[in-house]
């Protein structure tokens, strides 16, 4: 099959029997639901840009498995150039959507599972690596979107998976059959899961032998028997349901998406199993996936940051504050922080190296430094954007008020809409509606639905700050640094 277009991708979702619950009810037509559709539009951009002559070299690549052209989101990295191009692609998509385009987790899962299965097979003589290669060829040839699922609900964080009061709080194997396994549990905070054709499941943490039934990795379709999803709420999401509310939505066309994915006794055939109770390789898979995904944030969040910086500069123009020295300085600081994030993403890519399986791994220390910065810098970028935008970003009346022809019983005889247009104007040459649209757009990125794809996700996506600090401590080689100091200071043990 050739590379799909965005329109073909949307139509392919209609053929799935995916079960989606929203506001407590099963959604019959989830593809066209106004709350869900913007996130589907975001994924569609990853397909359309693959056909754009200006960007096709970045969006597509030759598969090492088939020798055919594939979307980069289904590619196994073959060089440090591939790793850098991944980050560049993610920045581009952030610039195009100002939101989360949702395919990164699948791409990062592919590369982590590919190398881990190779090493698992080397130790145990299993056939997981061949299983996975056949599966990925299927994904590439059908140009599928795949959700990479790692995070379990976890329950009591002080207890291991096997010690939880409810054993299903970590996804687990509940039955082993000659032809496959049966799994039960859930994956939480799943980015783009509803918009995906398939899911690739990984363990959520390093395991011990006592937790071997939780050490499982596999792939399954979104409409598998026993699998359903519960859509996650976002700030201001019901604005999308209001009549003629496109201005209030802020980013009408694009948005992110998260869901709880529930597995209620789902059967997985053997050929789609990539880890089954080999608990000693769960940590490797987690560490490698986390590294790739932390690298990703040096691209996608930077692209959204580019848009937010542009919006902040534009609202300064609309407010008549663009010449103020403190505004200029804030824009410089926002740019400095954003480019620092990009530097980290490129650096961990440039320092990448081949795994035993042959695909390329990023430098884990630098990837974790990248994500640690992402837990901080976007918050400062958002603070500065809100500072420049002004309080009207969160106190402005609704679009309905601006359209209202309801006359206010005063001497002027103006309507509600006319009063809004009069008093919420900035620079006289700029239509009030333009200022209104831009303020809602900034609100959307900083506080609204896209905050999931920028601000809040910057904190918790790919692991919370402490997870990166643990890896930085592990990878930081403090003993080696002590030896450097001793050598120069002339200290001999």
Choosing from 9, 231, 297, 342, the catalytic residue is: 297
- C-beta separation of 113 from 132 below 8 A: yes
Specify the 3-state DSSP secondary structure of 430: coil
Instruction: Quote the CA–CA distance of 421 and 435 in Å, as a whole number.
Output: 10
- Which segments of 33-167 does DSSP mark as H helices, in order? 37-48, 56-59, 80-97, 104-124, 128-142
Helix 432-446 to helix 377-389 angle (10° resolution) is 160
Mark whether 104 is an active-site residue.
yes
Choosing from 198, 278, 443, 457, the catalytic residue is: 457
Classify each residue of 215-230 as buried b or exposed e, where b means 16 or more C-beta atoms within 10 Å of its C-beta.
bbbbbbbbebeebbbb
Mark whether 189 is an active-site residue.
no
Nearest residue to 264 via CA among 317, 319, 186: 186
Choosing from 117, 191, 204, 355, the catalytic residue is: 191
Instruction: Quote the CA–CA distance of 480 and 473 in Å, as a whole number.
Output: 13
Per the listing, tokens 């009549």 go with: 243
Choosing from 104, 220, 370, 420, the catalytic residue is: 104
- C-beta separation of 71 from 282 below 8 A: no
Bridge partners of residue 184, in order along the sequence: 172
Mark whether 344 is an active-site residue.
no
Choosing from 42, 220, 276, 300, the catalytic residue is: 300
Choosing from 258, 278, 287, 443, the catalytic residue is: 258
Choosing from 9, 60, 100, 114, the catalytic residue is: 100
Choosing from 60, 135, 293, 360, the catalytic residue is: 293
Bridge partners of residue 219, in order along the sequence: 200
Classify each residue of 67-97 as buried b or exposed e, where b means 16 or more C-beta atoms within 10 Å of its C-beta.
eeebbbbbbbbbebebbbbbbbbbbbbbbbb
Mark whether 293 is an active-site residue.
yes
Instruction: Quote the CA–CA distance of 116 and 217 in Å, as a whole number.
Output: 11
Instruction: Quote the CA–CA distance of 97 and 42 in Å, as a whole number.
Output: 6
Catalytic residue annotation = 100, 104, 191, 258, 293, 297, 300, 457
């Amino acid at each position: 099959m050739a590379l799909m277009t965005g329109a073909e991708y949307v139509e392919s979702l209609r053929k799935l029997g995916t079960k989606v619950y929203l506001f407590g009810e099963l959604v019959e037509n989830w593809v066209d639901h106004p709350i869900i559709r913007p996130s589907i539009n975001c994924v569609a951009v990853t397909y359309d840009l693959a056909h754009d002559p200006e960007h096709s070299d970045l969006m597509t690549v030759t598969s090492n498995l088939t020798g055919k052209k594939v979307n980069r989101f289904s590619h196994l990295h073959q060089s440090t150039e591939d790793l850098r191009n991944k980050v560049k692609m993610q920045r581009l998509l952030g610039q195009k959507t100002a939101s989360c385009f949702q395919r990164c987790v699948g791409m990062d899962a592919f590369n982590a599972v590919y190398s881990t299965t190779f090493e698992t097979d080397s130790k145990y003589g299993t056939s997981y690596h061949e299983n996975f290669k056949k599966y990925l060829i299927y994904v590439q040839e059908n140009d599928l979107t795949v959700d990479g699922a790692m995070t379990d609900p976890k329950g009591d964080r002080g207890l291991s998976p096997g010690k939880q009061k409810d054993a299903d709080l970590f996804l687990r194997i509940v039955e082993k059959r000659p032809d496959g396994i049966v799994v039960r549990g859930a994956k939480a905070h799943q980015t783009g899961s509803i918009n995906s054709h398939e899911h690739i499941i990984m363990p959520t943490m390093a395991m011990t032998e006592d937790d071997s039934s939780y050490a499982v990795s596999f792939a399954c379709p979104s409409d598998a028997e026993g699998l359903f999803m519960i859509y996650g709420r976002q700030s201001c999401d019901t604005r999308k349901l209001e009549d003629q509310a496109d201005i209030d939505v802020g980013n009408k066309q694009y948005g992110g998406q998260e869901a709880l994915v529930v597995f209620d006794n789902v059967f997985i055939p053997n050929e789609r199993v990539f880890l089954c109770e080999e608990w000693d390789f769960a940590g490797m898979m987690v560490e490698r996936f986390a590294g790739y995904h932390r690298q990703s944030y040096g691209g996608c969040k930077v692209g959204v940051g580019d848009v937010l910086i542009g919006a902040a500069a534009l609202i300064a123009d609309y407010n008549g504050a663009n010449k103020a020295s403190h505004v200029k300085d804030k824009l410089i600081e926002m740019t400095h922080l954003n480019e620092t994030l990009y530097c980290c993403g490129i650096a961990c890519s440039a320092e990448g190296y081949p795994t035993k399986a042959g695909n390329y791994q990023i430098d884990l220390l630098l990837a974790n430094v990248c994500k640690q910065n992402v837990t901080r810098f976007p918050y400062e970028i958002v603070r500065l954007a809100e500072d420049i935008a002004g309080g009207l970003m969160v106190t402005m009346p609704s679009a309905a008020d601006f359209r209202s022809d309801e006359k206010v019983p005063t001497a002027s005889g103006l309507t509600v809409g006319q009063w809004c247009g009069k008093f919420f104007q900035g620079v006289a040459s700029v239509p009030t509606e333009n200022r209104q649209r831009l303020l809602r757009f900034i609100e959307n990125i900083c506080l609204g639905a896209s905050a999931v794809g920028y601000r809040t996700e910057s904190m918790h996506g790919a692991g919370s700050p402490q997870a990166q600090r643990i890896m930085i401590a592990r990878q930081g080689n403090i003993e080696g640094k002590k030896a450097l100091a001793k050598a120069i200071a002339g200290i001999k043990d």
